[in-house]
Structure 1
Amino acid sequence: MAIAAERGLEVYGGDINTAYLNAWLDIRQYLCSINGYPCQVNGHMYVVLKALYGLHQPGREWNSELNQWFLDHGYQRSLTEPCLYFKFEGETIVYVLVYVDDIFVATNVESYKEELFKDLNDAYGLKDQGRLTQYLGVEIEQTHESIKISQGKYAREILEKFGYQDAHAVGNPMETNVRLAPLETDERSETSFPYREAIGMLMYLATSTLPDLAFTLGQLSRCVANPSAKHVGAAKRVLRYLAGTVYYGITYARKQDEVDEVVLEGYSDSDWANNPEQRKSTTGFVFTLAGGAITWMSRRQSIIALSTAEAEYVAACEASMETMAESNILQEILPMHSVKLKIGIDNQAAHVMATNPTYSRRTRHIELRWHFVREQVQKGVIKLHKIPGEENPADAFTKALDKKRLEGLLQLVGVSHAK
């Protein structure tokens, strides 16, 4: 969506009918006699020719079939994202994203979309859904100024399922002074609330359109097998927060003028030793394109950092790995554009460690892998710059924040009321 907004494209959708049955099986399969369709000769069996639903390989066979179709029609397949195809003909731009039988097309020429869908319909049978308003549970609003994504319908379904549709809303998903620890041996697990189901349903929101839930759900998901009453209470608070943010989403601003440069702006942060059991730190990062968040993460670091600077350095490295992955896609699908990568961090010591190839007694123990960020900075691939802590959106992915600060940081990455 961010690329569509960045390049001024319209987004369309299509659905292929009984997609798997269009693919032939490479590995021969057999069926015994079926009630109502007996074999004419005793001892004979049916040979399965097409990729029937329920077999092991239909998904792969269908993907191979559709991939070959796109290649035969002049599309290039992304090496980084195998379900992404693209094609450029003069001023015409076409991007195609495939999810099983759902086809997502972004283009600047509607007639090209119509031709593509006609060819797909002739080959497999396709329902043209027109200008996209919904895709995999995500609602899409396209205007001349922006593209907005949200999940209001899905959020309402969650609230109704757990009886929180009329709940009194709270301003943040987690109280700022709460520390969630695993269940103590003398504590009883709370089983009256469907904790695992709630976390699973909320996680789709956190990974799609509501990055403000990422940190909280990251904490809550560690105890889905044996939650305590405290965990259940924290999960119910997330539902109350959701009651007030049902229509929140991400906005990507359309560029009014053609530009030959794309800037992927990122932010990283850490909360040192905030895990009370293992004393491990939390990494948080978020990247934006066209003014809106496109990828984000909140996760526990794999090592025990010995200082705040080391934790911030590790977080910057993890963010740099993510931005390199995103850069690979951008360089493929935007071959005529210059891709700039920026990461903002708010720790001076970590910034010095990443921009100056020096070692000291306090840093020489750091594993070699974490110096990846330094290498990319020295090569000029990534620009690492210092920002004030109060202006770092990644702070929302490392700790619980109060309502005012959370809303302020979310606005910096395009998250706001979508209606």
Structure 2
Amino acid sequence: DSSDDSDKGMVLKQDSYTKDQLARYRDLVGYEDVPAPVQLSPEDFVIKETEVAADFVRAAQTMARELQWLAGRCRPEILYAVNLLSQATSKNHKEAVYRGGHLLKCLKRYPKGGIYYTSDPQLTPDARVQSPGVVVEGFCDASFAPNSGRSQQTIMVFMMGGLVVWTSSRQAFVTMSTAESELVAICEFATCLKSVEHLIAEVMLKDNMKVNEVIKAIHSDSQAALAVCRTAAGSWRTTHLRIRGSLIRELLEQADWTAHHVDGRVMLTELGAKALSADRFGFLTDRIGVVRKRCQEAEVSTAKSEPVKKLFLLVWLASLVEQASGASAPESEAQDSFDCQFLLVCIIAVIAVWECFKGVVATFRLRLRMTPLAEESTCGRDPGDDPAVTTSEEENEPRAGISSSAPTTSQGMHRRRTVVPAPTEPLGVTRATGDYSVRPAVGKCDYWEWKENVVIRWHANPIVQMFVPGATASGPKQDQLTRERETFARFADGETQHVADNYRNLHKPARTLADRKWKGRTELKLVPGARAAGK
């Protein structure tokens, strides 16, 4: 499908396919703003005795096949999530089903979307090359050893400002450093572009021999990898890197090949190399030229219009009844007719109030689900305190009960309706509010304080999520804690809140305490004898 606007450009999309796909998974409840969860726990995906592994295998294979087709056509923003889904299909079928359900919830949030191609030839917003001729821009990025294994690489190619090639995959072998993984991604892009440069010259310049007139620009956020590509000299420790970079070095000696460094904040290929937060994901999705439409707009308007339609229908029926009774009732029955009319008006008023109340409640609940969770950054925050590292998206755990089979043809894929195991809700926490004395933290940065039976994390900087101990400086280790946690929070308006829970039993330990920032402390209970080991 495509929507053509001769004045501005064209949007390449597959909304009808997405609609049919979501119709087969209508049992999924909820929405997601990002296609890939930030962090998952492996123990959550162990197949239980009451579950059948074959059901998960069939569902995972069906999801991977359908979503790969969509990601390769017009939805490049989901390529990373689809790649992880495909990897889990052969390793952990239950995790693959969970990832597929998470991705389908994201498509449910954005059912309409596609790639926008402008009618005016231009470069990407972060282009480092200027040329009046044909320019092919390539962006390469790699996430080094995300699971202590092979690195994840992403390549995106833009021609005249429009995205034409995109891929996300694990590298073919294990790299030993970040620079090497970035260099492998650059070499992969150069090989890809060398194989199609004659085709580009044929299409754009009408002559496949004019490849030297097509400017090829390489963009990477790794200065170390680009230095290896530009310089032949170096230490013997980087000999293997310089040998691999000799391919790029020979290409850069030609006038039609250039290499540029791009700031990591605007690196477009980060979209396919790692899981991102909602705001970061939306920012990069807009910059690669993907346009999306949220589904809440139609839902809100429908929720508001349904009570109004019912109210008009009741008023119309009441007017018909009043006219009929007025034409047939004699004067002696005027009093009885008045009583009937009054009773009818009361019934209509009660129904109207009830419908309006349901509409207000539905709109309020929908707005609560739409409230974005801001990602906060504070000075002195350690990696263990970062919500992007220690937290995962609010997810549901998949259960057994799949009854589906993979269709053998593309038409069967559209007709069959696959039933996915409904995820379970994560465990909740016990919360209580009340006034109490909270001693403010000393200084401007967070710090630890060791007591007899507890260790306290003082939050001098305002945060949103609840604290989970991790790889923080001078902090306790996990084996020193009982996982019992008490959070004492004070908000800017003076309101206080106290939460006592066991974060080990929660699917998302670092959940959001409220929709606003707070200061205070987190008390973690120590196991007996742990204080001496923590000092």
1:163 aligned to 23, 26, 32, which one? 26
Q: Distance in 1 between matches of 2:121 and 2:257?
A: 26
1:267 is displaced (CA, Å) by 0.8
Worse-superposed segment, 324-333 or 203-212: 324-333
Q: Secondary structure at the match of 2:238?
A: coil
1:227 is displaced (CA, Å) by 3.5
What pairs up with 1:378-389 in 2 under 5 angstroms? 378-389=253-264
1:258-309 CA distance string (max 9 Å, x none):
x951111121100111234xx1111111111233211011111112111101
Q: Distance in 2 between matches of 1:189 and 1:368?
A: 50
Q: Distance in 2 between matches of 1:214 and 1:176?
A: 15
Q: Distance in 1 between matches of 2:105 and 2:42?
A: 18
Q: Which residue of 1 aligns with 2:175?
A: 305
Q: Distance in 2 between matches of 1:256 and 1:341?
A: 16
CA gap 1:140/1:389 in 2 versus in 1, 3 angstroms: same
Worse-superposed segment, 192-201 or 221-230: 221-230
Q: Which residue of 1 aligns with 2:220?
A: 345
Is the Cα–Cα contact under 8 Å of residues 180 and 219 in structure 1 kept in the other structure?
no
1:364 is displaced (CA, Å) by 0.8
1:219-271 CA distance string (max 9 Å, x none):
111232454322211110000001122211101111279x9511111211001
Amino acid of the structure 1 residue aligned with 2:236: R
Q: Distance in 2 between matches of 1:226 and 1:159?
A: 25
1:372 is displaced (CA, Å) by 2.0
1:296 aligned to 159, 166, 174, which one? 166
What pairs up with 1:189-204 in 2 under 5 angstroms? 190-193=53-56, 194-204=59-69
Q: Distance in 2 between matches of 1:233 and 1:204?
A: 19
CA gap 1:326/1:404 in 2 versus in 1, 3 angstroms: farther
Q: Does 1:413 align with 2:285?
A: no
Q: Which residue of 2 aligns with 1:178?
A: 40
1:71-106 CA distance string (max 9 Å, x none):
xxxxxxxxxxxxxxxxxxxxxxxxxxxxxxxxxxxx
Is the Cα–Cα contact under 8 Å of residues 228 and 242 in structure 2 kept in the other structure?
no
How many residues end up aligned between the 2 structures?
278
Amino acid of the structure 2 residue aligned with 1:345: S
2:9 aligned to 113, 137, 146, which one? 146
What is the root-mean-square deviation of aligned Cα atoms in Å?
2.9
What pairs up with 1:227-238 in 2 under 5 angstroms? 227-238=92-103
Q: Which residue of 1 aligns with 2:232?
A: 357
Is the Cα–Cα contact under 8 Å of residues 190 and 228 in structure 1 kept in the other structure?
yes
Q: Which residue of 2 aligns with 1:320?
A: 190
Q: Secondary structure at the match of 1:147?
A: strand
Q: Secondary structure at the match of 2:198?
A: helix
Q: Which residue of 2 aligns with 1:374?
A: 249
TM-score, normalising length: structure 1: 0.60
Gaps of 5+ in 1: 1-133
Q: Secondary structure at the match of 2:250?
A: helix
Is the Cα–Cα contact under 8 Å of residues 3 and 12 in structure 2 kept in the other structure?
yes
2:80 aligned to 197, 200, 215, which one? 215
Is the Cα–Cα contact under 8 Å of residues 15 and 111 in structure 2 kept in the other structure?
yes
CA gap 1:153/1:311 in 2 versus in 1, 3 angstroms: same
1:152 is displaced (CA, Å) by 0.7
Is the Cα–Cα contact under 8 Å of residues 270 and 315 in structure 1 kept in the other structure?
yes
Q: Does 1:390 align with 2:265?
A: yes
1:213 is displaced (CA, Å) by 1.2
Q: Which residue of 1 aligns with 2:139?
A: 267
Bigger-Rg structure (1/2): 2
Amino acid of the structure 1 residue aligned with 2:11: K
Q: Distance in 1 between matches of 2:30 and 2:88?
A: 26
1:100-156 CA distance string (max 9 Å, x none):
xxxxxxxxxxxxxxxxxxxxxxxxxxxxxxxxxx4xxxx343432101101111011
Is the Cα–Cα contact under 8 Å of residues 320 and 373 in structure 1 kept in the other structure?
yes
1:361 is displaced (CA, Å) by 2.5
Higher helix share: 2
Q: Which residue of 1 aligns with 2:480?
A: none
1:195 is displaced (CA, Å) by 1.4
Q: Which residue of 1 aligns with 2:457?
A: none
Amino acid of the structure 1 residue aligned with 2:138: G
Q: Which residue of 1 aligns with 2:334?
A: none
Q: Which residue of 1 aligns with 2:151?
A: 281
Q: Distance in 1 between matches of 2:105 and 2:40?
A: 16
Q: Distance in 1 between matches of 2:121 and 2:173?
A: 45
CA gap 1:180/1:359 in 2 versus in 1, 3 angstroms: farther
